[in-house]
Structure 1
C-alpha cells in the first residue's frame, strides 16, 4: 500500500514565477535576445546544439508547414546541427476520440520529410509511441508540476475553452509535460518555436530546473541531468489558406505537398481574391491578393511588390496563373523525390525503424540517469 502525498506541497524552485512571467514584455525581450545569440552561434559552432522539433500526424503537410518549418529544419541539419524530428503520434489522441488512418498519415509525414531534404543519416526521425523510455519520463515529471500550472498553459486553456463543457482528457491536461519529455529525453538544448509558444518551452525549462533542485544530479554530480533548452525564434511567413482564412487542414484550404501539379492549379484557381484588377501588395487592405503575392515571392525569391508591379492591371487571373507556375516549378523536385519514396515503402519503414532504435537507445540512457539521480537503482 502506498502513502498519500502531501496535498499542499508545491514543487520547489522559481518555476511558478517563471511561468507567470513567460509572456511578459521583458521575458519576451530576453527570449528574443537569446535567440539572436543562438542563431549567430549556430553558423560558427553548430556542433554545440541538439535541436528537436516535430509534427502531429493529424493530416498531410502543406505549404504552410513547408515555408514555416520544414525548410528551416533542413537548413539547420545542413549547418551541422544535431537534428531530431518527432512524429508525435501519441499526441493525436490528446483531443480526439480515435486515431483514424494514423498509419497512412505517419507514412505520408515521413515521405514529406525525406522529400524536402531531411536526411536520416544526419537527422533522427522517430515516432512517439515507439520510444517507451521517453514516455516513462512522464511519471517523475508530473510530480514536478501543479494542476493549476497545467491549466494556465495556453494550449490547455484554449482546449478547455473550445470543449463547450466537454470534460478534458487527462492526456490533454498533461500535454505540456509530455512536450517536456519529448524535449528533455534527448537533452535537446534548442527548440524552434514561435513567440506564442514560449510558455510551452518555459514549462519544459521549469521541469528541468525542478528535477535538478529536487532530485540532484546523476553521475559525478557536476552537471544537471537535463539542460534548460532555449527557444530559436523565427519569423514565420503569414500564409493564409486559399479561402483567405487561417490556413488549416480541417478547413480544406491548404495546398498539400503531396498534391499533383493539376490539383495545385485547381486549388489556386479557387483562391479568393477581390474585384480590383490592379494588383497591389497590401496585406492589411487586400489580404487575399497579398497572400497570393507572398506565395509567389516565397517560391521565386522575388519581392511581392515586384511581382505585383509586373502583373499590374492584368487582374487576378494573371496573378493566379503566375502563382500556379511558380509553386509547381518550386515543388517539382520535391514531388519527383516523393514519387520515388512512395514506390519503396520498405525503405520508409527502414528509415523510421532506424530512427526509433536510435531514439530508444538515447531515451533508455536518459532514464537510467534519472533513476540514478532519484536513487531508484535497486540492482
Structure 2
C-alpha cells in the first residue's frame, strides 16, 4: 500500500528536471511517509536487502524518497579554508593464504585479525595482538609519505573497521600536526563503551569533540540501547574538532547479518571541514541510498562523499559509482571509496575520469596492496 501511495511522488523526486526545488517538508505525502517509516517494523527488515539483487522496488522507492526529504544536520568542525588537492587512501589487512574463494578468504581474514568471541556475535573487534602490529605499520607508512602531504589540502581516508579506539589519540595528534583531515573506520563498540570512551577523554581532547545532532537525536529518542553494538567512522578536522558518523544499515547476506541496529530514519550528517563539506556513507549505507545520492548532494551543496568499506563484493560499488559519474551534471562531485586491502577497489570516482571505469571493473589499486596510497585531484 505504501509503495502504491508514494510511487508517483518517487518518480517526481527521481526524474524531475535539474532545477527541481527540494522543499517537500509541508507535503502531506512526506508527513505520511515519515510516519510510516517510524512505525512499520517490516520495513526495517526490508531495508537490509537494498543494494542486493533481492531488493523490493517498493522498499527502494520509500527509502529514496525518505533519504531525499530528510534534511541532515550540519556538524560544524571548523571553517572552510580551501579545497582538497590530494587524497591518501589507507588500505590494510591481507590474508596470507591465497587458495580461498573471495567469501572464504574474507572469513579467514577476519579470524586472523579480529577477536573470535566478537566474531561469534557478528561484530568486528581487533585482537589485542593485532593493534600494536597495525600501529607500527601505520606509523611506518605515515613516515614514508609525510613529505607528500599538503597542509590544509590533504585528505586521509581509511577502510571500515580498521582502527581500535585506543589509536584515536594518535590519529588526532597526526591530523593536528600536519593540518589534514582524517576519516577512518573503527572497530565495533557497544554504545555503553562508546559513552565511557567519550567521558574518559583527556580534557584537551574532550573540548574538541563535536557530537553531531543526528546521533544526539538517536540517543534522545532511545533508538539505541546501551548494549547495542555500533559501527562508526571518525572524522578529524586538522587541529580543530572531531566527530563520528554511525553506520545506518548492517551488512546482510542470507546467513550473516552484522549485529548493529537498523536505523530506518536517515541518520547522516554533513561535516564542514577546512576543505569544505564532506558526507560519509559507511559501506552498505551507500548501496541503500545510491540512486538519489547525487540529487541529495546537489540539495545540500556537498561535493565530496567518502565511502569506507570492508567487503569482498567490490564490483557492485564500482558499477554504481560509474552510473553516477557518467552524467555531466555530476562533474563537480567526488566519490572516495576505500576498502580492505585483501579485495581493494579503492579509488577516486568522478566525471573527469569516468572512462577509466569502462566496462566498470577497473580500480586504482590492486588486490592485496597494503599501505597508504596518494592520488592528486
Query: TM-score higher than 0.5 here?
Result: no
- TM-score normalised by L of structure 1: 0.28
- Find the structure with the greater CA-based Rg: 1
Q: Which has the higher strand share?
A: 2
More helix by share: 1
The TM-score, its normalising length taken from structure 2, stands at: 0.28
